[in-house]
Amino acid sequence: MAMGGLVVLGGFACDVGFIAVTRWALRISSRSYYIGKIVAVVVVNFLASLVLFVGSLLIARRLSEPWLHAKWKAGRSSSLLMGLGFSNSIDTLAPLVFFLLVLILLGHRVFWPLLSRPLYALQDLGITRRRKFFGAIGLGLLALAGFKVPELFKKVLETLVG
């Protein structure tokens, strides 16, 4: 069988295995109410995809060393594993999205209690009815963050108006 066919077949086998592991992990996390268990399942799933991607590339690099290549003629194996590693890169991107989503949700869970009290206190003061004051506070916070507010405001207007 040609080298390309082996890479496609190996990539397909890795994809099927990874999808089975991901479905199993999602089934476990869907039954759980504890955030720690859900995070652990997502992290393990991401690490498994990373092993598929980086592991095959590291083994391919090791097989391409000159002393090993001369002893075992490992060039074809190295090329096969390199192609397999690159075909598994998509398998790494999908769990990365879920991993980043979990990090965002954890950040929300940590910071929302800190932000909710001041926001509800401002709402009780009637800040939502004072749009100009609210806009001035927003521009002030942008300036405090280091943005050049007049230039930013011009770019926003150009984008909106055309």
Give the pLDDT mean for 95-103.
80
Give the range with max mean pLDDT: 36-45, 76-85, 103-112, 138-147.
Answer: 103-112
Q: What percent of the chain has pLDDT over 90?
A: 0
Under DSSP, the state recorded for 128 is G
pLDDT tens figures, 8-64: 787 788 888 888 888 888 888 888 888 788 778 878 888 888 887 777 777 766 666
Q: Report DSSP letters for 109-149, one per residue.
A: HHHHHHHHHHHHHHHHHTGGG-HHHHHHHHHHHHHHTT--H
Computed over every residue of the chain, the mean pLDDT equals: 76
Residue 101 has pLDDT above 80, yes or no: yes
What pLDDT score was predicted for residue 134? 76
- What are the CA-CA distances from residue 26 to residues 8, 15, 108, 124, 139 (Å)? 26, 16, 21, 41, 42
- pTM of model > 0.75: no
pLDDT for res 74: 54
Report the percentage of the chain scoring pLDDT > 70.
81
pLDDT for 4: 67
Q: Which two tokens stand for residue 131?
A: 């749009």
Please determine, for residue 69, whether its predicted confidence score (pLDDT) is greater than 70.
no
